């Protein structure tokens, strides 16, 4: 890894991209491509600047930086609109899906802005001769994030009747959405039935089954299929542990550990992932992680545990030097942080979905079903293996 870059911006871009490809999705890769974008801009070649930004959109979407992806995308879209003959419309619409679906994760954006973006994508989709399958699937995802169950069902019903085409999300992704759809509606059996083609390995893509493993934990738990849930947790967690993009899936694993009374492991997960949650530009994913964290402390409190030994990231507002926390206070702090975000989202979404969700977490201690992973010979490493 070389500190010195070539003076010629084009060579610098090549070198940075070559380095970037060596890394897995995450902050190092993104930092290298960001710099490559700046060098591409300095080169004065708009096509190069466009191409490298496309790479940045990919890397930051897959690496947990939807804010960066959005910024790079708007530049590309403007460039595309200026010279539509120079670029590939399918390519830009494909990325439009990711961007559109991510918009609800930012409570700073209004419903009107998000709807306008959806309409804009729809218009472009139709103009290019595609069906509305792709854009409606994104609206479906947005409705899930808005906590709007009626809208989710309406969109689900009408989207099923639309023909898939080259712009559609892959089948595994759509199937995973169906799992989430039923999970959110509180229909665990349907959720699991929808998950079956993914869990059996017949469907998959770059992010599936990783996400699905986290998504089925809740329905499996609800149906008392704890053994399966534990197996799924064990194999699913390690697949999502390293990438901040999956922090909400990690939250599902954390929640599962809390609900099965595995407090020690739950605390380890909090220590390990809180930095990524706090740094996460997707406030919705951050909120979901906070929810699971609140549950963890509620469970400890209910057990009468007064203090918690925990390593929190240096510099966070939650962190104290001594590393020992009164369980009640910690719960309160995370609950406050979660409530503040929940209120922001609810205000934007025009409902009280996330605040209600937070209130319902109070029932956590009553819902716990203790279940532990079978003992193993060597003390397990909590991290990557």
Partner 1 sequence: MSHKFQVHLSGLINLLSNHLYSGPEVFVRELLQNGVDAIRARQLKEPRFAGKMTLELSKPVKGVPTITFMDNGVGLTEDEVHRFLAIIGESSKRADAGERPTDFIGQFGIGLLSCFLVSDEIVVVSRSMTGTPAVEWRGKPDGTYQLKTLDADLDAGTQVFLRCKPGSEEFFDAERLTELARHYGGLLPFPITVVSNSGSDVINTDELPWKESSANPRTRQKNWMKFGQDLFGMKFLDAIPLMSQAGEAEGLAFVLPHSPSLSAKRSDRVYLKRMLLSESADKLLPDWAFFVKAIVNANDLRPTASRESFYEDQKLEQAREELGECLRRYLVDLSRNQPEKFRKLLGVHQLAIEALAAADDDCFRLFIEWLPFETAEGRMTLPEYLARHDVVRYIPDLDQFRQISRIAAAQGIGVVNGGYVYSTDLLEKFAELNPDVQVIPVESSEVAHALEDLTEAEQDAAEVFLQTAESALRSYRCAVDLRKFRPSELTSLYSINSEGRFLRSLEQSQEAADSMWSGVLNNLAGSSSASAASRATLCFNQANPLIQRLVTLGKQPAVRPAVQMLYVQALLMAHQPLSSKEWKLFNEGLLTFVESGLST
Site residues, partner 1 (CB under 8 A): 1, 3, 5, 12, 21-28, 31-32, 34-35, 37-39, 41-42, 67-68, 70-72, 74-75, 77-79, 81, 103, 106, 108-110, 113, 116-117, 120, 196, 200-202, 231, 234-235, 238, 242, 311, 313-315, 373-374, 376-378, 380-381, 383-385
Q: How far is residue 53's CA from residue 59's CA, in Å, rounded to a whole number?
A: 10
Q: How far is the CB of 27 from partner 1 (least distance, A)?
A: 8
Residue 304 or 315: which CB sits closer to partner 1? 315
Q: How far is the CB of 362 from partner 1 (least distance, A)?
A: 31
Residue 301 or 346: which CB sits closer to partner 1? 346
Q: How far is the CB of 103 from partner 1 (least distance, A)?
A: 8
Q: How far is the CB of 31 from partner 1 (least distance, A)?
A: 4
Residue 60 or 159: which CB sits closer to partner 1? 60
What is the phi/psi pair of residue 102, to 5°? -85, -15
Q: How far is residue 180's CA from residue 178's CA, in Å, rounded to a whole number?
A: 5
In 3-state terms the chain splits into helix, strand, coil percentages (rounded to 5) of 70, 0, 30
- Residues 6+ away with beta carbon under 8 Å from 194: 175, 178, 179, 181, 182
Q: How far is the CB of 164 from partner 1 (least distance, A)?
A: 19
Residue 32 or 257: which CB sits closer to partner 1? 32
Residue 2 or 85: which CB sits closer to partner 1? 2
Q: How far is residue 19's CA from residue 356's CA, in Å, rounded to a whole number?
A: 46
- Residue 122, CB-side half-sphere exposure with 13 Å CA sphere: 13
Q: How far is the CB of 108 from partner 1 (least distance, A)?
A: 5
User: Do residues 147 and 284 lie in contact, with contact meaning Cβ atoms separated by under 8 Å?
Assistant: no
Length of the chain measured in residues? 385
Residue 150 or 385: which CB sits closer to partner 1? 385
Residue 309 falls in which region: left (phi positive, over 0), alpha (psi -120 to 50) or beta: beta
Residue 98 or 156: which CB sits closer to partner 1? 98
- Residues 6+ away with beta carbon under 8 Å from 286: 247, 277, 278, 280, 341
| 324-326/307-309 β-pairing | antiparallel
Q: How far is the CB of 243 from partner 1 (least distance, A)?
A: 11
What is the phi/psi pair of residue 309, to 5°? -95, 125
């Amino acid at each position: 890894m070389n500190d010195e870059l070539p003076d010629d911006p084009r060579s610098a871009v090549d070198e940075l991209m070559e380095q970037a490809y060596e890394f897995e999705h995450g902050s190092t890769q993104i930092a290298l491509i960001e710099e490559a974008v700046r060098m591409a801009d300095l080169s004065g070649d708009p096509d190069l600047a466009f191409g490298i930004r496309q790479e940045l959109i990919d890397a930051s979407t897959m690496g947990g930086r939807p804010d960066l992806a959005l910024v790079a995308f708007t530049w590309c879209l403007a460039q595309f609109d200026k010279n539509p003959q120079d670029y590939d419309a399918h390519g830009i619409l494909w990325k439009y899906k990711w961007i559109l679906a991510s918009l609800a994760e930012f409570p700073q954006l209004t419903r009107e802005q998000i709807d306008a973006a959806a309409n804009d994508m729809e218009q472009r989709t139709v103009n290019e001769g595609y069906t509305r399958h792709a854009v409606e699937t994104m609206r479906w995802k947005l409705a899930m994030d808005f906590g709007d169950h009626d809208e989710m069902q309406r969109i689900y019903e009408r989207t099923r009747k639309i023909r898939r085409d080259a712009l559609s999300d892959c089948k595994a992704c759509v199937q995973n959405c169906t799992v989430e759809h039923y999970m959110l509606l509180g229909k665990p059996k349907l959720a699991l039935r929808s998950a079956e083609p993914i869990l059996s390995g017949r469907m998959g893509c770059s992010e599936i089954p990783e996400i699905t493993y986290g998504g089925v934990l809740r329905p499996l738990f609800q149906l008392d299929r704890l053994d399966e849930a534990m197996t799924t947790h064990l194999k699913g967690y390690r697949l999502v542990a390293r990438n901040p993009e999956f922090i909400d899936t990690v939250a599902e694993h954390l929640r599962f550990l809390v609900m099965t009374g595995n407090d020690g492991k739950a605390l380890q997960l909090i220590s390990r992932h809180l930095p990524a949650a706090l740094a996460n530009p997707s406030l919705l994913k951050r909120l979901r992680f906070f929810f699971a964290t609140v549950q963890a402390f509620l469970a400890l409190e209910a057990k009468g545990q007064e203090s918690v030994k925990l390593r929190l990231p240096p510099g966070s507002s939650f962190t104290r030097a001594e590393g020992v926390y009164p369980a009640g206070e910690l719960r309160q702090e995370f609950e406050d942080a979660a409530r503040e975000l929940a209120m922001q989202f609810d205000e934007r979404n025009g409902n009280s979905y996330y605040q209600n969700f937070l209130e319902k977490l109070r029932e956590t201690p009553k819902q716990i079903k203790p279940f532990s992973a079978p003992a193993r010979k060597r003390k397990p490493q909590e991290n990557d293996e």
